[in-house]
Amino acid sequence: MERVVNATLATARPLSATDFWDTQGADFSGLEKCRKTPLFREACSQYGLLRHNMRMLEPFRCFLHSDVSLFSGMLGAVTTLVLLSVGKFLARPRLVLSFDGSSDAYMATSTHREGDEPSVTRKYLRVSLRAAGLFGTILGGSSGAAKCLIYITAIRPVVNGIAGNDQLYDARPVSWPPNKTFDPRHIPRGITMFANVVTMREGHLDWNFQVPNQYGLNSVRSHAGTSRFRIAAIAENAKPVSIAIDASIKADKSGFQTRLVKR
């Protein structure tokens, strides 16, 4: 029996797929005919072309995976920086420095005691500073103006409408009212604060500039004509602004005659 089995295995061959299906009675003649048709050959050609194209697109896929991802990250970082810059720009206040010679707010009067004299009347020439938003509106500027100071930067005698040489030579801070206070101030958005530039005692020809001291001002303190004052305002987080004011003491020494100089 063992010799019969071994002889059978020696002469046996592996079954093919056709042998298997033949045992089931299948007919592959139709499939062989289909493989020889032009449609089948065209399908095979298109499939080969598709695989070729996929291989050609492989470098592009790698580019998308690496370089485009890097570009997207860089674009995101740049966008974030731009948005932060825009936010800071909008939050930054705009200083509005003003003067109106027809308003009592800018041409104030005070009667008070000075030394041994119980009643002295003084006239005050003042300017105002306001922290505004974008274009002077309430849009933006939410941070307010930090560490604000107002300076008088020039005092120039005016003759025949022409300003002469500066008699101040340096910039000096002017005082916040009511007394001489020169510390920087924070001005919230929409708030207006005043500063005293110069005073005069009613009935006297005397310019008393509201600066820390009067040194070097002797030549202008008794000036009888018109002087042009250059006033500037600064803040830690805002662009400086300035205005010019022509001022003189009235002939009857009752107050100031003023005019805001157009730029």
What tokens does 90 get? 């909008």
What pLDDT, on a 0 to 100 scale, did the predictor assign at position 5?
41
The pLDDT assigned to 9 comes to: 45
Backbone angles phi, psi at 101, to 5 degrees: -65, -15
Tell me how far apart the alpha carbons of residues 59 and 237 are, in angstroms, rounded to a whole number: 51
Using only C-alpha atoms, the chain has a radius of gyration, in whole angstroms, of 46
* pLDDT number for residue 233: 97
**What pLDDT, on a 0 to 100 scale, did the predictor assign at position 102?**
93
Could you tell me the two tokens for 165? 């040489």
Q: How far apart are CA 109 and CA 45, in angstroms?
A: 101
Amino acid, single-letter form, for residue 261: V
pLDDT at 169: 83
The predicted structure's pLDDT at residue 249: 94
Integer CA distances (angstroms), 238 to 40, 81, 175, 188, 220, in order = 78, 20, 20, 12, 32
List per-residue pLDDT tens for the chain, 263 residues long: 445 444 444 555 554 545 444 445 555 555 566 666 776 666 666 666 666 666 766 676 666 566 656 666 666 666 666 555 555 655 678 899 999 999 999 999 999 888 888 999 999 999 999 988 765 455 555 678 899 999 999 999 998 888 999 988 889 999 998 778 899 999 998 889 999 999 999 999 989 999 998 888 888 888 889 999 999 999 998 999 999 999 999 999 999 999 999 86
Single out the residue of 70, 162, 88, 175 nearest to residue 125, CA to CA. Answer: 175
For residue 59, is the peptide bond before it cis, meaning its omega torsion is within 30 degrees of 0?
Answer: no
Asked whether 197 and 210 are in contact (CB, 8 A), the reply is yes
State residue 81's pLDDT score.
67
Check residue 129 and give its pLDDT.
96
pLDDT value, residue 172:
95
Q: Cα–Cα distance between 124 and 128 in angstroms, integer?
A: 13
Give the model's pLDDT for residue 254. Answer: 92
Quote the pTM value. 0.65
**Which string of DSSP letters, residue by residue, matches the chain?**
-HHHHHHHHHH--PPPHHHHHHHHT---HHHHHHHTSHHHHHHHHHHHHHHHHHHHHHHHHHHIIIIIHHHHHHHHHHHHHHHHHHHHHHHS-EEEEE--TTSTTTEEEEEEEETTEEEEEEEEEEEEEEEE-GGGSSSS-TT-EEEEEEEEEEEEEEETTEE---SS-S-EEPBBTTTTB-S-EEE-BT-EEEEEEEEEETTS---EE-SS--TT-HHHHT--SEEEEEEEEEETTEEEEEEEEEEEE-TTSSSEEEEEEP-
